[in-house]
Amino acid sequence: MASGWLFSTSIVIEDGPRIRRVLAEVYDALGLEWDPLTAGSADELNPELTVHSVEQAILETYSTYWNVLEPIG
């Protein structure tokens, strides 16, 4: 599709230290500089956040703009 596009978002909710460790190894293997302070998880800023609470907040926000369907199955 010549005129199509994909919009994608990734939100890391948990495991900030693990994410930083993996990214550090990947960037090192690629020979690229990387600042570990640029990655983390949402629960490092607010320990009360959970994957479920963030998912519900996103679905609630999306539903104000679009018809959000329930998962099948």
d(CA 41, CA 10): 11
Mean pLDDT, consecutive 10-residue stretches, the chain (73 aa), reads 79 96 97 95 96 94 89 77
Q: What is the largest CA-CA distance in the chain?
A: 44
pTM over 0.85: no
- Residue 33's domain comprises 16-63
What confidence score (pLDDT) does residue 3 get?
81
Structural domains in the chain (count): 1
Is 3 among the domain residues?
Answer: no
What does the pLDDT read at residue 17? Answer: 96
Q: What is the pLDDT of residue 73?
A: 73
List the one residue out of 63, 48, 64 whose CA is nearest residue 14: 48
